[in-house]
Amino acid sequence: MLQILPKNSKVLSYFLLSFLLFLDSTNHSALELRSIANTATSYYTAGVVEFRPATNVSNLLEENLAAYLDIIASVEAANTDIIVFPESTLNSKPTSTFVPNPSTSDSDPELVPCLLGNTSIYAEFLVQISCSARQSRKYLVINLTEREHCTETSEDPRPCASDGLNIYNTNVVFDREGRVISRYRKWNLFSEPKNTTNSVELAFFDTDFGVRFGHFICFDILFYEPGQLLVNLGITDFVFPTMWFSQLPFLTSVQFQQSWSYANDVNFLAAGASQPAVGSTGTAIFAGRKGALISVMNKGEGERRLYVAKVLKKKQRQQSVQALQLQRSSFAATSRQSRISEEDIRLKRDYLELYESEVLDLSNAPVPLKRDLCYKTFCCHFELQWHPLFNSSTMSDYYAYRLGAYEGIRKEEGADGTNALRNCAVFACVGADIADCGKTLPAVIVQQQYAFDRIMIEADFEMNSPALVMPNSLRDDLLPLNVNEFVWEESKSAEYCNAEPLDFRYLW
Protein backbone atom coordinates (compact mmCIF):
# COMPACT_ATOMS: atom_id res chain seq x y z
CA MET A 1 0.00 0.00 0.00
CA LEU A 2 1.07 3.58 -0.58
CA GLN A 3 2.54 5.27 2.48
CA ILE A 4 1.22 8.81 2.85
CA LEU A 5 3.31 11.13 4.99
CA PRO A 6 1.70 13.07 7.88
CA LYS A 7 0.34 16.59 7.65
CA ASN A 8 3.56 18.29 8.75
CA SER A 9 5.35 16.91 5.72
CA LYS A 10 5.67 18.60 2.34
CA VAL A 11 3.65 15.87 0.61
CA LEU A 12 0.02 15.76 -0.39
CA SER A 13 -1.57 12.71 -1.96
CA TYR A 14 -3.31 13.57 -5.20
CA PHE A 15 -5.97 11.11 -6.30
CA LEU A 16 -6.90 11.74 -9.92
CA LEU A 17 -9.60 10.38 -12.14
CA SER A 18 -8.28 11.58 -15.48
CA PHE A 19 -8.79 11.55 -19.17
CA LEU A 20 -6.93 13.18 -22.02
CA LEU A 21 -9.21 13.24 -25.04
CA PHE A 22 -7.83 14.94 -28.12
CA LEU A 23 -11.30 15.41 -29.60
CA ASP A 24 -12.64 18.14 -31.82
CA SER A 25 -13.33 20.88 -29.28
CA THR A 26 -16.00 22.46 -31.44
CA ASN A 27 -18.31 19.49 -30.91
CA HIS A 28 -18.99 20.25 -27.26
CA SER A 29 -21.68 22.61 -26.02
CA ALA A 30 -20.50 25.91 -24.62
CA LEU A 31 -20.44 26.35 -20.86
CA GLU A 32 -23.22 28.59 -19.63
CA LEU A 33 -21.90 30.87 -16.92
CA ARG A 34 -24.41 32.24 -14.46
CA SER A 35 -24.17 34.53 -11.51
CA ILE A 36 -26.55 35.96 -8.97
CA ALA A 37 -27.90 39.49 -9.18
CA ASN A 38 -25.28 42.14 -9.76
CA THR A 39 -25.20 43.96 -6.45
CA ALA A 40 -22.36 45.58 -4.59
CA THR A 41 -22.23 42.72 -2.11
CA SER A 42 -22.69 39.70 -4.36
CA TYR A 43 -19.51 39.74 -6.44
CA TYR A 44 -16.13 41.39 -6.90
CA THR A 45 -14.41 42.24 -10.18
CA ALA A 46 -11.08 40.49 -10.68
CA GLY A 47 -8.38 40.87 -13.29
CA VAL A 48 -5.67 38.31 -14.07
CA VAL A 49 -2.75 39.11 -16.35
CA GLU A 50 -1.18 36.77 -18.88
CA PHE A 51 2.21 38.45 -19.27
CA ARG A 52 5.08 37.96 -21.69
CA PRO A 53 8.26 39.14 -19.93
CA ALA A 54 10.84 41.26 -21.67
CA THR A 55 13.71 39.59 -23.50
CA ASN A 56 16.07 42.55 -23.97
CA VAL A 57 18.63 41.90 -21.24
CA SER A 58 19.71 45.55 -21.11
CA ASN A 59 16.37 46.82 -19.75
CA LEU A 60 14.34 43.84 -18.55
CA LEU A 61 13.01 45.48 -15.40
CA GLU A 62 12.25 48.81 -17.05
CA GLU A 63 10.22 47.24 -19.86
CA ASN A 64 8.34 44.88 -17.56
CA LEU A 65 7.54 47.64 -15.09
CA ALA A 66 6.29 49.99 -17.80
CA ALA A 67 3.98 47.27 -19.12
CA TYR A 68 2.71 46.48 -15.59
CA LEU A 69 1.87 50.15 -14.98
CA ASP A 70 0.16 50.46 -18.36
CA ILE A 71 -2.06 47.48 -17.58
CA ILE A 72 -3.01 48.84 -14.15
CA ALA A 73 -3.91 52.22 -15.66
CA SER A 74 -5.73 50.79 -18.69
CA VAL A 75 -9.38 51.31 -19.52
CA GLU A 76 -9.92 47.56 -19.29
CA ALA A 77 -8.75 47.62 -15.67
CA ALA A 78 -10.96 50.54 -14.63
CA ASN A 79 -13.63 48.54 -12.80
CA THR A 80 -11.41 45.89 -11.24
CA ASP A 81 -11.15 45.51 -7.48
CA ILE A 82 -8.08 43.29 -7.63
CA ILE A 83 -5.46 42.57 -10.31
CA VAL A 84 -3.09 39.60 -10.16
CA PHE A 85 0.21 39.46 -12.07
CA PRO A 86 2.11 36.21 -12.80
CA GLU A 87 5.25 34.71 -11.34
CA SER A 88 8.78 35.80 -12.29
CA THR A 89 7.85 38.37 -14.95
CA LEU A 90 9.02 41.56 -13.23
CA ASN A 91 12.57 41.47 -11.87
CA SER A 92 15.40 39.03 -11.17
CA LYS A 93 18.19 38.53 -8.64
CA PRO A 94 20.38 41.46 -9.82
CA THR A 95 17.41 43.80 -9.28
CA SER A 96 16.02 42.13 -6.17
CA THR A 97 14.44 44.38 -3.57
CA PHE A 98 13.74 44.45 0.12
CA VAL A 99 10.02 44.15 0.92
CA PRO A 100 8.17 45.60 3.93
CA ASN A 101 7.12 43.12 6.58
CA PRO A 102 3.31 43.34 6.78
CA SER A 103 3.28 41.78 10.25
CA THR A 104 4.22 45.17 11.67
CA SER A 105 1.58 47.72 12.73
CA ASP A 106 -0.84 48.86 9.99
CA SER A 107 0.11 52.42 10.80
CA ASP A 108 3.80 51.85 10.13
CA PRO A 109 4.74 54.25 7.27
CA GLU A 110 7.28 51.67 6.06
CA LEU A 111 4.39 49.62 4.70
CA VAL A 112 3.58 52.25 2.03
CA PRO A 113 6.69 52.51 -0.18
CA CYS A 114 4.95 55.18 -2.28
CA LEU A 115 5.06 57.62 0.64
CA LEU A 116 8.75 56.96 1.26
CA GLY A 117 9.97 57.64 -2.27
CA ASN A 118 13.67 57.11 -2.89
CA THR A 119 14.52 57.68 0.78
CA SER A 120 13.77 54.03 1.62
CA ILE A 121 15.64 50.76 1.17
CA TYR A 122 12.98 49.61 -1.29
CA ALA A 123 13.69 49.50 -5.01
CA GLU A 124 12.20 52.21 -7.18
CA PHE A 125 9.98 49.74 -9.04
CA LEU A 126 8.36 48.67 -5.76
CA VAL A 127 7.73 52.33 -4.95
CA GLN A 128 6.12 52.90 -8.36
CA ILE A 129 3.82 49.89 -8.05
CA SER A 130 2.80 51.02 -4.57
CA CYS A 131 1.95 54.42 -6.04
CA SER A 132 0.05 52.78 -8.89
CA ALA A 133 -2.10 50.83 -6.41
CA ARG A 134 -2.71 54.06 -4.52
CA GLN A 135 -3.61 56.05 -7.63
CA SER A 136 -5.82 53.38 -9.23
CA ARG A 137 -7.45 52.44 -5.90
CA LYS A 138 -6.97 48.72 -6.51
CA TYR A 139 -5.63 45.71 -4.72
CA LEU A 140 -2.55 44.53 -6.62
CA VAL A 141 -0.79 41.18 -6.32
CA ILE A 142 2.68 40.98 -7.84
CA ASN A 143 5.42 38.38 -7.72
CA LEU A 144 9.04 39.48 -7.47
CA THR A 145 12.54 38.47 -6.51
CA GLU A 146 13.07 39.62 -2.92
CA ARG A 147 16.24 40.11 -0.90
CA GLU A 148 16.55 39.95 2.87
CA HIS A 149 19.50 40.27 5.24
CA CYS A 150 20.41 36.79 6.46
CA THR A 151 20.97 36.07 10.13
CA GLU A 152 21.73 32.68 11.66
CA THR A 153 19.53 32.02 14.70
CA SER A 154 18.78 29.11 16.99
CA GLU A 155 15.41 28.74 15.23
CA ASP A 156 17.08 28.77 11.81
CA PRO A 157 20.73 27.66 12.02
CA ARG A 158 21.15 27.28 8.26
CA PRO A 159 24.34 29.04 7.09
CA CYS A 160 24.03 32.36 5.26
CA ALA A 161 25.36 33.00 1.78
CA SER A 162 28.69 34.82 1.42
CA ASP A 163 26.90 38.07 0.48
CA GLY A 164 24.77 37.93 3.62
CA LEU A 165 21.48 37.87 1.71
CA ASN A 166 18.57 35.51 1.36
CA ILE A 167 16.86 35.60 -2.05
CA TYR A 168 13.18 34.62 -2.23
CA ASN A 169 10.48 34.07 -4.82
CA THR A 170 7.87 36.33 -3.23
CA ASN A 171 4.26 37.45 -3.63
CA VAL A 172 3.56 41.02 -2.49
CA VAL A 173 0.03 42.33 -2.01
CA PHE A 174 -0.85 46.05 -2.00
CA ASP A 175 -4.16 47.50 -0.83
CA ARG A 176 -5.91 50.53 -2.32
CA GLU A 177 -3.63 52.85 -0.32
CA GLY A 178 -0.49 51.27 -1.76
CA ARG A 179 0.19 49.57 1.59
CA VAL A 180 1.86 46.17 1.67
CA ILE A 181 -0.71 44.02 3.46
CA SER A 182 0.62 40.53 2.74
CA ARG A 183 3.83 38.82 1.70
CA TYR A 184 4.44 35.18 0.88
CA ARG A 185 7.76 33.46 0.14
CA LYS A 186 7.52 30.36 -2.05
CA TRP A 187 7.87 27.16 -0.08
CA ASN A 188 8.07 24.51 -2.82
CA LEU A 189 10.79 25.51 -5.25
CA PHE A 190 11.16 24.11 -8.77
CA SER A 191 14.75 24.26 -10.07
CA GLU A 192 15.14 27.71 -8.51
CA PRO A 193 18.41 28.89 -6.91
CA LYS A 194 16.54 30.68 -4.14
CA ASN A 195 16.03 30.39 -0.41
CA THR A 196 13.06 29.12 1.53
CA THR A 197 11.84 30.23 4.92
CA ASN A 198 12.55 28.01 7.92
CA SER A 199 8.90 26.95 8.03
CA VAL A 200 6.01 27.35 5.61
CA GLU A 201 4.19 30.69 5.62
CA LEU A 202 0.39 30.76 5.55
CA ALA A 203 -0.34 34.00 3.71
CA PHE A 204 -3.78 35.60 3.42
CA PHE A 205 -5.28 39.07 3.37
CA ASP A 206 -8.64 40.74 3.86
CA THR A 207 -10.23 43.22 1.47
CA ASP A 208 -12.73 46.06 1.84
CA PHE A 209 -15.16 44.16 -0.40
CA GLY A 210 -15.52 41.44 2.23
CA VAL A 211 -13.37 38.66 0.77
CA ARG A 212 -10.38 36.99 2.42
CA PHE A 213 -7.81 35.68 -0.09
CA GLY A 214 -5.15 33.08 0.43
CA HIS A 215 -2.17 33.03 -1.89
CA PHE A 216 0.69 30.79 -2.93
CA ILE A 217 2.91 30.31 -6.00
CA CYS A 218 3.03 27.92 -8.96
CA PHE A 219 4.60 24.57 -7.89
CA ASP A 220 3.10 24.98 -4.40
CA ILE A 221 -0.22 23.76 -5.81
CA LEU A 222 1.10 20.19 -5.94
CA PHE A 223 1.72 20.03 -2.18
CA TYR A 224 -0.25 19.99 1.05
CA GLU A 225 1.56 23.05 2.38
CA PRO A 226 0.57 25.82 2.09
CA GLY A 227 -2.47 25.52 -0.20
CA GLN A 228 -4.49 22.81 1.54
CA LEU A 229 -3.68 24.25 4.96
CA LEU A 230 -5.25 27.54 3.81
CA VAL A 231 -8.32 25.67 2.55
CA ASN A 232 -8.55 23.97 5.94
CA LEU A 233 -8.65 27.43 7.54
CA GLY A 234 -11.87 28.08 5.63
CA ILE A 235 -10.44 30.39 2.97
CA THR A 236 -12.58 30.25 -0.17
CA ASP A 237 -10.77 32.63 -2.57
CA PHE A 238 -7.20 32.31 -3.83
CA VAL A 239 -4.73 34.21 -5.99
CA PHE A 240 -2.11 32.20 -7.83
CA PRO A 241 0.85 33.77 -9.69
CA THR A 242 2.50 31.13 -11.84
CA MET A 243 5.13 30.45 -14.48
CA TRP A 244 3.98 26.92 -15.23
CA PHE A 245 5.68 24.44 -17.54
CA SER A 246 2.89 22.33 -18.96
CA GLN A 247 3.17 18.57 -19.01
CA LEU A 248 1.01 16.03 -20.83
CA PRO A 249 -1.29 14.39 -20.10
CA PHE A 250 -2.20 15.41 -16.53
CA LEU A 251 -0.32 18.59 -15.67
CA THR A 252 -0.96 21.32 -18.21
CA SER A 253 -1.54 24.60 -16.41
CA VAL A 254 -5.23 25.51 -16.79
CA GLN A 255 -6.17 21.84 -16.60
CA PHE A 256 -4.64 21.47 -13.14
CA GLN A 257 -5.85 24.87 -11.95
CA GLN A 258 -9.43 23.84 -12.64
CA SER A 259 -8.91 20.46 -10.95
CA TRP A 260 -7.66 22.13 -7.75
CA SER A 261 -10.35 24.82 -7.77
CA TYR A 262 -13.10 22.28 -8.45
CA ALA A 263 -11.97 19.75 -5.83
CA ASN A 264 -11.74 22.42 -3.11
CA ASP A 265 -14.72 24.41 -4.46
CA VAL A 266 -12.86 27.71 -4.19
CA ASN A 267 -12.65 30.83 -6.34
CA PHE A 268 -9.25 30.79 -8.00
CA LEU A 269 -7.50 33.69 -9.76
CA ALA A 270 -4.54 32.36 -11.76
CA ALA A 271 -2.15 34.69 -13.63
CA GLY A 272 0.31 32.99 -15.95
CA ALA A 273 3.60 33.94 -17.53
CA SER A 274 3.25 33.90 -21.32
CA GLN A 275 6.17 32.18 -23.04
CA PRO A 276 4.67 29.30 -25.05
CA ALA A 277 8.01 28.56 -26.73
CA VAL A 278 9.38 27.36 -23.38
CA GLY A 279 6.08 25.87 -22.23
CA SER A 280 4.70 28.69 -20.07
CA THR A 281 1.15 29.91 -20.53
CA GLY A 282 -2.15 29.48 -18.72
CA THR A 283 -4.34 32.16 -17.16
CA ALA A 284 -7.81 31.65 -15.72
CA ILE A 285 -10.47 32.62 -13.21
CA PHE A 286 -12.44 29.73 -11.75
CA ALA A 287 -15.55 29.78 -9.58
CA GLY A 288 -14.98 26.43 -7.88
CA ARG A 289 -17.59 23.86 -8.93
CA LYS A 290 -19.30 26.51 -11.05
CA GLY A 291 -16.38 26.25 -13.45
CA ALA A 292 -14.32 28.64 -15.54
CA LEU A 293 -15.18 32.31 -15.94
CA ILE A 294 -12.00 32.95 -17.93
CA SER A 295 -9.52 30.39 -19.27
CA VAL A 296 -6.81 30.78 -21.88
CA MET A 297 -3.81 28.84 -23.18
CA ASN A 298 -1.65 30.81 -25.59
CA LYS A 299 0.56 29.82 -28.47
CA GLY A 300 3.10 31.68 -30.59
CA GLU A 301 4.94 34.54 -28.94
CA GLY A 302 2.54 34.88 -26.02
CA GLU A 303 0.83 38.08 -24.93
CA ARG A 304 0.48 40.88 -22.39
CA ARG A 305 -3.20 41.02 -21.63
CA LEU A 306 -5.61 41.60 -18.79
CA TYR A 307 -8.61 39.26 -18.46
CA VAL A 308 -11.51 40.44 -16.32
CA ALA A 309 -14.49 38.65 -14.77
CA LYS A 310 -17.07 39.29 -12.07
CA VAL A 311 -16.57 36.65 -9.40
CA LEU A 312 -19.49 35.59 -7.23
CA LYS A 313 -18.59 35.66 -3.56
CA LYS A 314 -18.68 32.19 -2.10
CA LYS A 315 -20.92 33.12 0.81
CA GLN A 316 -23.56 34.30 -1.67
CA ARG A 317 -23.79 31.07 -3.64
CA GLN A 318 -26.32 29.33 -1.40
CA GLN A 319 -28.71 32.27 -1.31
CA SER A 320 -32.00 31.84 -3.16
CA VAL A 321 -31.91 34.83 -5.46
CA GLN A 322 -32.52 35.41 -9.13
CA ALA A 323 -29.71 34.18 -11.40
CA LEU A 324 -28.50 36.43 -14.19
CA GLN A 325 -26.12 35.80 -17.05
CA LEU A 326 -22.58 36.60 -15.98
CA GLN A 327 -21.34 39.90 -17.35
CA ARG A 328 -17.97 39.37 -18.96
CA SER A 329 -15.62 41.91 -20.45
CA SER A 330 -15.77 42.25 -24.23
CA PHE A 331 -12.18 41.10 -24.58
CA ALA A 332 -12.46 38.04 -22.34
CA ALA A 333 -11.31 34.68 -23.68
CA THR A 334 -13.94 32.47 -25.23
CA SER A 335 -14.57 29.05 -23.74
CA ARG A 336 -13.36 27.30 -26.91
CA GLN A 337 -10.06 27.71 -28.67
CA SER A 338 -8.48 26.17 -31.74
CA ARG A 339 -6.43 23.01 -31.41
CA ILE A 340 -3.00 23.40 -29.85
CA SER A 341 -0.14 20.98 -30.47
CA GLU A 342 3.55 20.72 -29.62
CA GLU A 343 4.24 22.91 -32.64
CA ASP A 344 2.48 25.75 -30.79
CA ILE A 345 3.73 25.28 -27.23
CA ARG A 346 6.57 23.29 -25.70
CA LEU A 347 5.04 20.43 -23.72
CA LYS A 348 6.79 18.20 -21.24
CA ARG A 349 5.67 14.60 -20.76
CA ASP A 350 4.66 12.69 -17.64
CA TYR A 351 6.19 9.37 -16.57
CA LEU A 352 3.61 7.15 -18.25
CA GLU A 353 5.97 4.15 -18.45
CA LEU A 354 5.43 3.74 -14.71
CA TYR A 355 1.72 3.09 -15.25
CA GLU A 356 -0.02 -0.22 -15.64
CA SER A 357 -1.70 0.41 -18.98
CA GLU A 358 -3.29 -1.27 -21.96
CA VAL A 359 -4.24 -0.18 -25.45
CA LEU A 360 -7.92 0.35 -26.22
CA ASP A 361 -8.67 -1.60 -29.40
CA LEU A 362 -11.73 0.43 -30.32
CA SER A 363 -12.15 -1.30 -33.69
CA ASN A 364 -12.68 -4.76 -32.16
CA ALA A 365 -13.71 -4.23 -28.53
CA PRO A 366 -17.35 -4.73 -27.53
CA VAL A 367 -19.44 -1.61 -27.05
CA PRO A 368 -20.06 -0.71 -24.30
CA LEU A 369 -16.72 -1.81 -22.80
CA LYS A 370 -16.38 -2.57 -19.09
CA ARG A 371 -12.84 -3.08 -17.84
CA ASP A 372 -10.98 -3.28 -14.53
CA LEU A 373 -7.30 -2.35 -14.51
CA CYS A 374 -5.08 -2.62 -11.42
CA TYR A 375 -1.68 -1.27 -10.45
CA LYS A 376 -0.72 -3.83 -7.79
CA THR A 377 -3.57 -3.55 -5.25
CA PHE A 378 -5.01 -0.26 -6.53
CA CYS A 379 -7.78 -0.90 -9.06
CA CYS A 380 -9.72 1.28 -11.48
CA HIS A 381 -13.05 0.47 -13.12
CA PHE A 382 -13.76 1.84 -16.61
CA GLU A 383 -16.92 1.86 -18.70
CA LEU A 384 -16.75 3.31 -22.23
CA GLN A 385 -19.01 3.79 -25.22
CA TRP A 386 -17.97 5.16 -28.61
CA HIS A 387 -18.80 5.15 -32.30
CA PRO A 388 -16.56 5.31 -35.40
CA LEU A 389 -16.29 8.47 -37.47
CA PHE A 390 -14.20 7.20 -40.41
CA ASN A 391 -12.84 3.98 -41.80
CA SER A 392 -9.44 3.58 -40.13
CA SER A 393 -7.93 1.99 -43.26
CA THR A 394 -8.19 5.32 -45.07
CA MET A 395 -6.55 7.34 -42.28
CA SER A 396 -2.89 7.85 -41.46
CA ASP A 397 -2.85 10.31 -38.56
CA TYR A 398 -5.23 9.78 -35.68
CA TYR A 399 -5.08 9.24 -31.94
CA ALA A 400 -5.05 5.90 -30.18
CA TYR A 401 -6.11 5.55 -26.55
CA ARG A 402 -4.94 3.70 -23.46
CA LEU A 403 -6.36 2.89 -20.05
CA GLY A 404 -3.94 3.55 -17.20
CA ALA A 405 -3.65 2.98 -13.45
CA TYR A 406 -0.91 4.07 -11.08
CA GLU A 407 -0.13 4.26 -7.37
CA GLY A 408 3.19 5.50 -6.05
CA ILE A 409 5.49 8.38 -5.19
CA ARG A 410 6.02 10.87 -7.98
CA LYS A 411 9.26 12.87 -8.16
CA GLU A 412 9.46 15.68 -10.69
CA GLU A 413 12.93 16.28 -12.15
CA GLY A 414 14.33 19.50 -10.69
CA ALA A 415 11.87 19.57 -7.79
CA ASP A 416 12.70 19.45 -4.09
CA GLY A 417 9.60 17.52 -2.98
CA THR A 418 7.63 14.43 -3.95
CA ASN A 419 3.95 13.66 -4.40
CA ALA A 420 2.01 10.57 -3.48
CA LEU A 421 -0.26 9.80 -6.42
CA ARG A 422 -3.09 7.46 -7.32
CA ASN A 423 -4.50 7.89 -10.79
CA CYS A 424 -7.07 6.19 -13.00
CA ALA A 425 -6.89 7.51 -16.53
CA VAL A 426 -7.86 7.30 -20.18
CA PHE A 427 -5.24 9.07 -22.27
CA ALA A 428 -4.45 9.72 -25.92
CA CYS A 429 -1.40 8.48 -27.80
CA VAL A 430 0.05 9.14 -31.24
CA GLY A 431 0.89 5.45 -31.71
CA ALA A 432 0.50 1.99 -30.19
CA ASP A 433 3.53 2.11 -27.87
CA ILE A 434 3.44 3.65 -24.39
CA ALA A 435 6.30 5.92 -25.50
CA ASP A 436 3.83 7.44 -27.99
CA CYS A 437 1.51 8.62 -25.21
CA GLY A 438 1.51 12.10 -23.72
CA LYS A 439 2.30 13.54 -27.14
CA THR A 440 0.29 15.44 -29.74
CA LEU A 441 -0.11 15.24 -33.48
CA PRO A 442 0.22 18.41 -35.58
CA ALA A 443 -3.12 20.20 -35.38
CA VAL A 444 -3.39 20.62 -39.16
CA ILE A 445 -3.26 16.90 -39.98
CA VAL A 446 -4.96 15.16 -37.07
CA GLN A 447 -8.28 13.44 -37.73
CA GLN A 448 -10.67 11.87 -35.26
CA GLN A 449 -11.25 8.17 -35.84
CA TYR A 450 -13.75 7.70 -33.00
CA ALA A 451 -16.10 9.77 -30.92
CA PHE A 452 -16.62 8.81 -27.28
CA ASP A 453 -20.25 8.87 -26.19
CA ARG A 454 -19.61 8.02 -22.54
CA ILE A 455 -16.62 7.51 -20.27
CA MET A 456 -17.03 6.45 -16.67
CA ILE A 457 -14.08 6.01 -14.29
CA GLU A 458 -14.58 4.66 -10.79
CA ALA A 459 -12.19 3.89 -7.93
CA ASP A 460 -11.95 3.60 -4.14
CA PHE A 461 -9.57 5.92 -2.27
CA GLU A 462 -8.73 5.64 1.42
CA MET A 463 -9.27 9.06 2.97
CA ASN A 464 -7.72 8.64 6.43
CA SER A 465 -4.63 10.67 5.45
CA PRO A 466 -4.16 14.13 3.88
CA ALA A 467 -5.42 13.78 0.33
CA LEU A 468 -7.17 15.68 -2.44
CA VAL A 469 -9.29 13.82 -4.98
CA MET A 470 -9.72 15.69 -8.26
CA PRO A 471 -11.38 15.28 -11.65
CA ASN A 472 -8.78 15.93 -14.31
CA SER A 473 -9.45 16.37 -18.03
CA LEU A 474 -7.92 17.86 -21.16
CA ARG A 475 -9.21 18.69 -24.63
CA ASP A 476 -7.28 19.23 -27.84
CA ASP A 477 -7.11 22.99 -27.18
CA LEU A 478 -5.26 22.29 -23.89
CA LEU A 479 -8.22 23.44 -21.82
CA PRO A 480 -10.21 21.14 -19.52
CA LEU A 481 -13.79 20.08 -20.02
CA ASN A 482 -16.36 22.56 -18.79
CA VAL A 483 -18.02 21.55 -15.56
CA ASN A 484 -21.37 20.93 -17.26
CA GLU A 485 -19.71 18.34 -19.48
CA PHE A 486 -19.01 15.79 -16.75
CA VAL A 487 -20.57 14.36 -13.59
CA TRP A 488 -18.56 13.94 -10.39
CA GLU A 489 -19.92 11.72 -7.62
CA GLU A 490 -18.54 10.87 -4.17
CA SER A 491 -19.92 8.23 -1.81
CA LYS A 492 -18.80 6.26 1.24
CA SER A 493 -17.96 2.68 0.38
CA ALA A 494 -19.65 -0.03 2.47
CA GLU A 495 -16.93 -2.53 1.62
CA TYR A 496 -14.48 -1.08 4.12
CA CYS A 497 -15.58 -0.12 7.61
CA ASN A 498 -12.35 1.02 9.27
CA ALA A 499 -10.29 2.80 6.61
CA GLU A 500 -13.25 4.96 5.50
CA PRO A 501 -12.53 4.93 1.76
CA LEU A 502 -14.59 7.03 -0.59
CA ASP A 503 -15.93 5.74 -3.87
CA PHE A 504 -15.42 8.30 -6.66
CA ARG A 505 -17.15 8.20 -10.01
CA TYR A 506 -16.19 10.39 -12.95
CA LEU A 507 -18.61 10.34 -15.88
CA TRP A 508 -18.19 12.13 -19.21
Q: Which residues are catalytic?
A: 87, 186, 218
Q: What is the dihedral of CA 326, 330, 334, 339, to 10 degrees?
A: -170
Exposure b/e, 420-439, CB count within 10 A at least 16 = b = bbbbbbbbbbbeeebeebbb
What are the backbone angles phi and psi of residue 252, rounded to the nearest 5°? -75, 160
Q: Give the integer Cα–Cα distance in Å for 33 and 96.
A: 41
Q: Give the integer Cα–Cα distance in Å for 426 and 341.
A: 19
Q: Give the integer Cα–Cα distance in Å for 29 and 45.
A: 26
Cα torsion angle, 104, 109, 110, 111, sign? positive
By C-alpha distance, which of 257, 66, 74, 45 is closest to 139?
45
Q: Which residues pair with 269 in a beta bridge?
A: 239, 285
77 φψ region: left (φ > 0), alpha (ψ -120 to 50), beta (else): alpha
Q: What is the dihedral of CA 255, 259, 262, 267, to 10 degrees?
A: -60
The CA-CA-CA angle for residues 230, 234, 235, to 5°, reads: 60
Do 438 and 349 form a contact (C-beta atoms < 8 A)?
yes
Q: Chain centroid to CA 315: how far?
A: 23
- Is residue 379 classed as helix, strand or coil in its secondary structure? strand
SS3 letters across 461-501: EECCCCEEEEEEEECCCCCCCCHHHCEEEEEECCCCCCCCE
DSSP annotation string for 209-274: TS-EEEE--GGGGGSIIIIIHHHHTT--EEEEEE----EETTB-HHHHHHHHHHHHT-EEEEEEB-
Q: Give the integer Cα–Cα distance in Å for 331 and 351.
A: 38
Do 417 and 10 form a contact (C-beta atoms < 8 A)?
yes
278: part of which helix (H) or strand (E)?
none
By C-alpha distance, which of 471, 506, 503, 474 is closest to 487?
506
Do 497 and 464 form a contact (C-beta atoms < 8 A)?
no
